[in-house]
Amino acid sequence: MDQIESNKKEMLKKKTWAVVGATPDPSKFGYKIFKKLKSFNYEVYGVNPKHSELDGETLYSSLRDLPIKPECIDVVVNPTLALKLLEEVKELGIEYVWFQPGTNNGEVIDQALEYGIKVVYDDCVLVALG
């Protein structure tokens, strides 16, 4: 089994997640992923500085603002924002980051690996959860 598959299995066992790019817009992946994780009984926190809530749940401006440190981050923002996000992930000592398709590029993945972060990319959490 390759490293990504191994990371994916580990991540899906983690019960505390933050979805960066969570949004109250039901047509967006940030909404669908947030709701799907919730429906599988994960403890989920949304991060999006542009919105304050999603269906009555508080959305936070940054990972630093979360009430707890999540075990896993699901990234649903563009690669430029994802790259900036990695600084915060490293600073907070978060071990796992799942990049949804289209949220990363070579630079983002290289930086994450350089920081020692365990990553999944080119795979969708919605598909993984079925």
Partners of 17 in the β-ladder: 44, 72
The pTM score is 0.96
Residues 6 or more apart in contact with residue 67 via CB below 8 angstroms: 45
Strand 16-20 relative to strand 96-99: parallel, antiparallel, unpaired? unpaired
User: What does the pLDDT profile of the chain (130 residues) look like in tens digits?
Assistant: 699 999 999 999 999 999 999 999 999 999 999 999 999 999 999 999 999 999 999 999 999 999 999 999 999 999 999 999 999 999 999 999 999 999 999 999 999 999 999 999 989 999 999 8
Q: Specify the CATH architecture of the domain 3-129.
A: 3-Layer(aba) Sandwich (3.40)
